[in-house]
Amino acid sequence: MNIFKTLTLVTLGSSLLLAVSPKEVDHLESIVKIGNKSSTLLIKTLAQNMQKKMKSGGTLHALDFCSNQAYSLTQEVNQKLRGVSVKRVSVKYRSPDNIPSQKERAILESLQSLKNSNVILPKYVIQKVDTNTYKYYKPLIINKKACLKCHGDIKNVALKHEIANRYPLDSATGYKMGDLRGAIIVTIEKSIK
């Protein structure tokens, strides 16, 4: 995206923000709080379990966790939330459970375009789906070396073989530190009050 388009979008975004009522600002702040809290709960739940598996049995044990428990733990997090659902998506997905919809893919590709242009990514993106539904996108960045054991250039032949067996359509490799891995999407069903 060239600088003129970027400035136009920033200017347009600023103009739109000025047209938002105080009630709508409060509502959007509420959406951000819910999105942040929900995405953080999912990240912490998955990360704590992943760390335990890595410590107790190494990378192959962590792969077992990802392929057998990550989805069910995500569903458990969803059961704790009201009017909210969370999921992980990626353009370069490993599991078919993480395939983004067309609209979600467009946002991920926009984030990747910003990243490729050396723009600091936003902490979140809010998308208004309809009058009662919002999506909160939290970009996931590769920021731990442990992530690269399964998502980088995999050197471990046994691990590479196991990933291929469990995920025949895997495209979630070749990442480097600082790369955009995907996003957590929090769907919030709530009307403006």
| Residue extents of the structural domains in the chain | 21-44+74-189
The DSSP string of 146-185 is: HHHHHHSS---HHHHHHHHHH-TT-------TT-EEEEEE
Residue-wise pLDDT for 149-192, tens only, equals 899 999 999 999 999 999 999 999 999 999 999 999 999 987 54
Mean pLDDT score of the chain: 86
Is the pTM here over 0.75, yes or no? yes
| CA atoms 13, 86, 104, 191: torsion sign | negative
Residue-wise pLDDT for 7-54, tens only, equals 334 434 444 445 567 788 888 899 999 999 999 999 999 989 888 888
Q: Which amino acid is at 84?
A: V
